[in-house]
Chains A and B, each alone.
Chain A
Amino acid sequence: MDESIKLTIDGQPVTVPAGVTLLQAAEMAGITIPTICYHVATTSNALCRICVVEVEGARTLVPSCVAKAADGMVVHTDSERVRLSRRTILEMLVSSVDLSEAPEIQTMMAEYQADPQRFPDAERREPPVLDDNPMYIRDYAKCILCWRCVQVCAEDAQYTFALNFSGRGYETQIGTFYDHPMPETTCVFCGQCVGVCPTGALKPKREWLLEQGYSPDEVMELTRTDRRRRRRDSIE
Chain B
Amino acid sequence: MIQPDRIVSTTCPYCGVGCNLRVHVRDNTIYRVTSPFDAVVNKGNLCVKGRFGYDFIYHKKRITTPLIRKVPQKPGQRTQAFDRSEWREVSWDEALDYTADRMVEIYQRDGSHAMAVYCCAKATNEDNYLLQKLFRALFRTNNVDHCTRLCHAASVVALQMAIGSAAMSNTASEVILSDVFLLTGSNTTENHPIISLQMKAAVEKHGAKLIVVDPRRIEMVNWATLYLPMKPGSDVPLFSAMAHVIIKEGLMDREFIEQRTENFEAFAQSMEKFTPEYAEQISGVNRNLIIDAARMYGSAERAAIFWALGIAESTHGTANALSLINLALLTGNLGKPGTGLNPLRGQNNVQGASDSGAMPWHYPGYQEVDVEENARRWEELWNIEPGGLNRERGLTTTEILGAAHPGGVRSLYIMGENPMMSEPNLNATRKHMENLEFIAVQDLFINESGAFGDVFLPAAAAFEKDGTFTNTDRRVQRVRKAVDPPGQARPDWEIICDLAARIEARLGRPNSAFWAYRHPEEIMLEMGRAVPAYAGVRYEHLEPVGPQTPVPTPGHPGSPYLYADTFPRGRAKFHPLEYVPNAEMPDDEYPLVLSTGRVLEHWHGGTMTRNSSLDELHPVALLDIHPEDAERLGICHLDPVRITSRRGSVVARAKVTEKANVGVVFLPFHYREAAANLLTNDALDPQAKIPEYKAGVVRVTKARWEELPTDDYQPRGRY
Q: Is there a contact between chains A and B in the complex with CB atoms less than 8 Å apart?
A: yes
Q: Which residues of A contact B (CB under 8 A)?
A: 39-41, 100-101, 133-136, 152, 155, 157-160, 162, 180, 183-192, 194-196, 200, 204-207, 210-211, 216-217, 219-220, 223-225, 227-236
With a cutoff of 8 Å between Cβ atoms, the chain A residues found around residue B47 in the complex are: 188, 190
With a cutoff of 8 Å between Cβ atoms, the chain A residues found around residue B709 in the complex are: 230-232, 234
Q: Flag if B674 contacts A234 (CB, 8 Å).
A: yes
Contact of B80 among A155, A210, A236 (CB under 8 A): A236
Which 7 A-B pairs rank lowest in CB-CB distance, beginning with the nearest?
A: A191-B51, A227-B712, A189-B48, A134-B616, A223-B613, A207-B31, A134-B613
Query: Complex: how many Å from CA A81 to CA B55?
Result: 50
- B32 is an interface residue with CB less than 8 A from chain A: yes
Query: Complex: how many Å from CA A66 to CA B710?
Result: 53
With a cutoff of 8 Å between Cβ atoms, the chain B residues found around residue A228 in the complex are: 711-712
Q: Flag if B616 contacts A185 (CB, 8 Å).
A: no
Q: Flag if B672 contacts A234 (CB, 8 Å).
A: yes
- B193 is an interface residue with CB less than 8 A from chain A: yes
- B387 is an interface residue with CB less than 8 A from chain A: no
Near A by CB (< 8 A), chain B positions 682-715 give 709-712, 714-715
The residue on A at minimum CB distance from B52 is A135
Query: Complex: how many Å from CA A141 to CA B513?
Result: 62
Q: Flag if A207 contacts B448 (CB, 8 Å).
A: no
Contact of B52 among A39, A184, A185, A189 (CB under 8 A): A189
- B517 is an interface residue with CB less than 8 A from chain A: no
With a cutoff of 8 Å between Cβ atoms, the chain A residues found around residue B43 in the complex are: 41, 157
Contacts A159-B197, A220-B59; is A190 near B45 (CB within 8 Å)?
A: yes
Q: Flag if B1 contacts A101 (CB, 8 Å).
A: yes
Shortest Cβ gap from A206 to chain B (Å): 6
Query: Complex: how many Å from CA A225 to CA B619?
Result: 11
Q: Flag if B717 contacts A185 (CB, 8 Å).
A: yes
With a cutoff of 8 Å between Cβ atoms, the chain A residues found around residue B37 in the complex are: 39-41
- B34 is an interface residue with CB less than 8 A from chain A: yes
Q: Flag if B675 contacts A235 (CB, 8 Å).
A: yes
Shortest Cβ gap from A98 to chain B (Å): 11
- Please name 10 further chain A to chain B contacts, defined as beta carbons within 8 Å, in addition to the given A134-B52, A191-B52, A223-B616, sorted by A numbering: A101-B1, A134-B617, A152-B45, A159-B200, A183-B715, A188-B600, A189-B52, A194-B51, A233-B673, A234-B673
The residue on B at minimum CB distance from A232 is B709
With a cutoff of 8 Å between Cβ atoms, the chain B residues found around residue A184 in the complex are: 715-717
Q: Hey, what's the 0/1 contact readout for B201-237 against A, CB within 8 Å counting as 1?
A: 0001100000000000000000000000000000000
- B632 is an interface residue with CB less than 8 A from chain A: no
- B426 is an interface residue with CB less than 8 A from chain A: yes
Contact of B616 among A157, A188, A225 (CB under 8 A): A225
The residue on B at minimum CB distance from A100 is B1
Shortest Cβ gap from A24 to chain B (Å): 16
With a cutoff of 8 Å between Cβ atoms, the chain A residues found around residue B718 in the complex are: 160, 185-188
Q: Flag if B51 contacts A234 (CB, 8 Å).
A: no
Q: Flag if A206 contacts B31 (CB, 8 Å).
A: yes
- B678 is an interface residue with CB less than 8 A from chain A: yes
Query: Complex: how many Å from CA A157 to CA B29?
Result: 29
The residue on A at minimum CB distance from B29 is A216
Query: Complex: how many Å from CA A220 to CA B619?
Result: 15
Contact of A224 among B32, B34, B35, B616 (CB under 8 A): B616
Query: Complex: how many Å from CA A233 to CA B79?
Result: 14
Q: Flag if B617 contacts A135 (CB, 8 Å).
A: yes
- B46 is an interface residue with CB less than 8 A from chain A: yes
Q: Hey, what's the 0/1 contact readout for B588-630 against A, CB within 8 Å counting as 1?
A: 0000000000001100000000000100110100000000000
A interface, by DSSP: helix, strand, loop or mixed?
loop
The residue on B at minimum CB distance from A183 is B716
- B430 is an interface residue with CB less than 8 A from chain A: yes
Query: Complex: how many Å from CA A231 to CA B620?
Result: 10
With a cutoff of 8 Å between Cβ atoms, the chain A residues found around residue B200 in the complex are: 159
Query: Complex: how many Å from CA A196 to CA B44?
Result: 9
Q: Flag if B193 contacts A190 (CB, 8 Å).
A: yes
Contacts A135-B613, A190-B47; is A216 near B35 (CB within 8 Å)?
A: no
Q: Flag if A195 contacts B616 (CB, 8 Å).
A: no
- B58 is an interface residue with CB less than 8 A from chain A: yes
The residue on B at minimum CB distance from A226 is B712
With a cutoff of 8 Å between Cβ atoms, the chain B residues found around residue A227 in the complex are: 619, 712, 714
Contact of B46 among A40, A192, A233 (CB under 8 A): A192
Query: Complex: how many Å from CA A109 to CA B45?
Result: 30
- B60 is an interface residue with CB less than 8 A from chain A: yes
Shortest Cβ gap from B135 to chain A (Å): 28
Near A by CB (< 8 A), chain B positions 15-58 give 26, 29, 31-35, 37-38, 43-48, 51-52, 55, 58
Q: Flag if A217 contacts B60 (CB, 8 Å).
A: yes
Q: Flag if B2 contacts A210 (CB, 8 Å).
A: yes
Shortest Cβ gap from B432 to chain A (Å): 14
Q: Flag if B710 contacts A200 (CB, 8 Å).
A: no
Shortest Cβ gap from A139 to chain B (Å): 11
Query: Complex: how many Å from CA A133 to CA B51?
Result: 14
Contacts A134-B616, A224-B613, A230-B711; is A195 near B35 (CB within 8 Å)?
A: yes
Q: Flag if A232 contacts B673 (CB, 8 Å).
A: yes
With a cutoff of 8 Å between Cβ atoms, the chain A residues found around residue B35 in the complex are: 195
Q: Flag if A235 contacts B616 (CB, 8 Å).
A: no
Query: Complex: how many Å from CA A74 to CA B158?
Result: 63
- B330 is an interface residue with CB less than 8 A from chain A: no
With a cutoff of 8 Å between Cβ atoms, the chain B residues found around residue A160 in the complex are: 718
Q: Flag if B430 contacts A235 (CB, 8 Å).
A: yes
Q: Flag if B45 contacts A157 (CB, 8 Å).
A: yes
The residue on B at minimum CB distance from A189 is B48
Query: Complex: how many Å from CA A40 to CA B51?
Result: 20
With a cutoff of 8 Å between Cβ atoms, the chain A residues found around residue B716 in the complex are: 183-184
The residue on B at minimum CB distance from A190 is B47
The residue on B at minimum CB distance from A228 is B712
Q: What are 25 A-B pairs at a CB distance below 8 A? A: A101-B1, A133-B617, A134-B616, A155-B204, A157-B197, A159-B197, A183-B617, A183-B714, A183-B716, A185-B718, A186-B719, A188-B48, A189-B52, A192-B45, A205-B613, A210-B26, A220-B613, A223-B55, A224-B616, A227-B714, A229-B712, A230-B710, A232-B710, A234-B650, A235-B675
Query: Complex: how many Å from CA A195 to CA B712?
Result: 30
The residue on A at minimum CB distance from B54 is A206
The residue on A at minimum CB distance from B715 is A184
With a cutoff of 8 Å between Cβ atoms, the chain B residues found around residue A207 in the complex are: 2, 31-32
- B285 is an interface residue with CB less than 8 A from chain A: no
Q: Flag if A217 contacts B58 (CB, 8 Å).
A: yes
Shortest Cβ gap from B680 to chain A (Å): 14
Q: Hey, what's the 0/1 contact readout for B57-81 against A, CB within 8 Å counting as 1?
A: 0111000000000000000000010
Q: Flag if A158 contacts B45 (CB, 8 Å).
A: yes
Query: Complex: how many Å from CA A140 to CA B58?
Result: 29
The residue on A at minimum CB distance from B1 is A101
Query: Complex: how many Å from CA A211 to CA B672?
Result: 35
The residue on B at minimum CB distance from A136 is B52
Q: Flag if B197 contacts A158 (CB, 8 Å).
A: yes
Query: Complex: how many Å from CA A106 to CA B678?
Result: 58
